[in-house]
Amino acid sequence: MGYWNEQIETAPRSELEALQSYRLSRTVRRVYENVPFYKELFDRHGVSPADIRTVQDLSKLPFTVKQDLRDTYPYGLFATDLENVVRIHASSGTTGKQTVVGYTQNDIDVWSECAARALAAAGGKAKDFVHVSYGYGLFTGGMGLHYGAEKMKATAIPASVGNTRRQITIMQDFGSSILCCTPSYALYLGESIEEMGIDKSTLKLKAGIFGAEPWTEEMRREIEKKLGIKAYDIYGLSEVMGPGVSFECECQNGMHINEDHFIPEIIDPETGEVLPDGEQGELVFTCITKEALPLIRYRTKDIVRLSKEKCACGRTLVKMSKVLGRSDDMLIIRGVNVFPSQVESVLLDIQGVTANYLLIVDRVNNLDTLEIQVEMSPDMPFDAVRMIEEKESEIKAKVDSLLGISAKVRIVSPKTIARSEGKAKRVIDNRNSYHQTV
Ligand code: DLL
């Protein structure tokens, strides 16, 4: 199906690598000269920009991690004057502090192009109505797909999240033809359409672009059946750009990485050693065109496999598998990234409860749910039902406002949560195959 940028998407590997090498060496020099963090980091590892001439030199460079963004919060890794930054987004961090990412106008243009490639690969054309039900705001999902739709001169419908009935009415009345949201919400929309007694064939929907959380092939089939569409995966992370770092083509068996902008590597998450093509490991990205925040060898913590095998769609861009798991404890609940330690820091701030807690994640009617169980302090009057209810509401409100996620909170009696002899077990994830497997 449609390429957005045929020349790049089908470029011979040698040409692509030459372009990557040129862009890589230029970026490495720029960050070394403009960002004290990188100068210090490269000096410490005994590597200089002159050592980086081709993509083969990439492994000489040190890695960067999310903690580096936190340590230099908010703008310490930006490689350009703040005057040139036209947009910022943010994503969650383990301490409750967000990590901030920035974009110059050129970065936004590149991002829009990457999102347009994803839309085109899903059959998107200028005549389409692109219904964007990812969140608009600091999260990159909404605006990322929105700008991609406008770039291809399609009509963007910024429906954003929530109010499912209204979303469905918008689909009916405005003629939405491509739906963009998390896969779990897509399924929920499908069920709601059935419940409302709407015949799906009266809708104009033909395709969906779903990502921001892991999903399975079974889920794809269910979404396709319920909504009567083709469902495509899209991957990205805010630190690297947002949605559109990679996207699925009509073959629906892996996501093509926009390699002219991001060089992927797979490493052993324990040793940091680069693994050969086809092996499963942690995905690492180097941004080679970003101006505001060009991260070098950024460890995503996502476990995937890469394949350079020829794709039947004609694209030569390397393909990554679905995300097979994470190498850290990050949970993705309704598309929101949640670290158990974030919940813990909320609980530690609340009088009357202890730090013994358990997060129970589940999927009910295809929507993720989070229940937080926390033990009350032994000195809290056990029969003070009203007081307990008030505390539960207080915790719920704090979690809601800090993490942007609605949780059920249950305060339980002291010593009822099982203690572990080793690492505390903080999470029970009942979403079976959908949950983090690593
Ligand atoms: O989730 C960007 C995005 C928005 C991607 C909309 C796709 C669609 P963050 O909030 O920074 O950015 O979260 C990034 O989400 O490291 C993965 O663990 C996970 N993730 C993103 N896309 C997928 C996907 C956005 N298609 C983190 N499948 C990443 C599985 C995904 N996991």
Q: Where do the domains of the chain lie?
A: 1-328, 331-429
Please tell me if the CB atom of residue 145 comes closer than 6 angstroms to any atom of ligand 1: no
pLDDT tens, position by position, 307-363 = 999 899 999 999 999 998 888 888 999 888 888 878 888 888 888 888 789 999 999
pLDDT tens, position by position, 72-125 = 999 999 999 999 999 999 986 555 568 999 999 999 999 999 999 999 999 999
Please tell me if the CB atom of residue 128 comes closer than 6 angstroms to any atom of ligand 1: no
Strands 155-157 and 129-132: parallel
Atom of ligand 1 nearest to the CA of 300: 16
Could you tell me how many residues make up the chain? 438
Please tell me if the CB atom of residue 235 comes closer than 6 angstroms to any atom of ligand 1: yes
Residue 132 Cα to ligand 1 midpoint, Å, equals: 16
Tell me the pTM. Answer: 0.88
Residue 323 Cα to ligand 1 midpoint, Å, equals: 9
Please tell me if the CB atom of residue 237 comes closer than 6 angstroms to any atom of ligand 1: yes
Angle at 222 between CA 216 and CA 224, to 5 degrees: 105
Tokens of 23: 């862009």
What class has domain 331-429? alpha beta
Give yes or no for a cis peptide into 74 (omega within 30° of 0): yes
Please tell me if the CB atom of residue 264 comes closer than 6 angstroms to any atom of ligand 1: no
Residue 400 Cα to ligand 1 midpoint, Å, equals: 20
Which residue is listed with tokens 């963009």? 180
Atom of ligand 1 nearest to the CA of 209: 8
Using CA atoms, how far residue 35 sits from 28, 83, 238, 338, 378, in Å, is: 10, 16, 20, 29, 51
Which numeric CATH code is attached to 1-328?
Answer: 3.40.50.12780
DSSP 3-state of 148: helix
Neighbours of 305 (CB within 10 A): 18
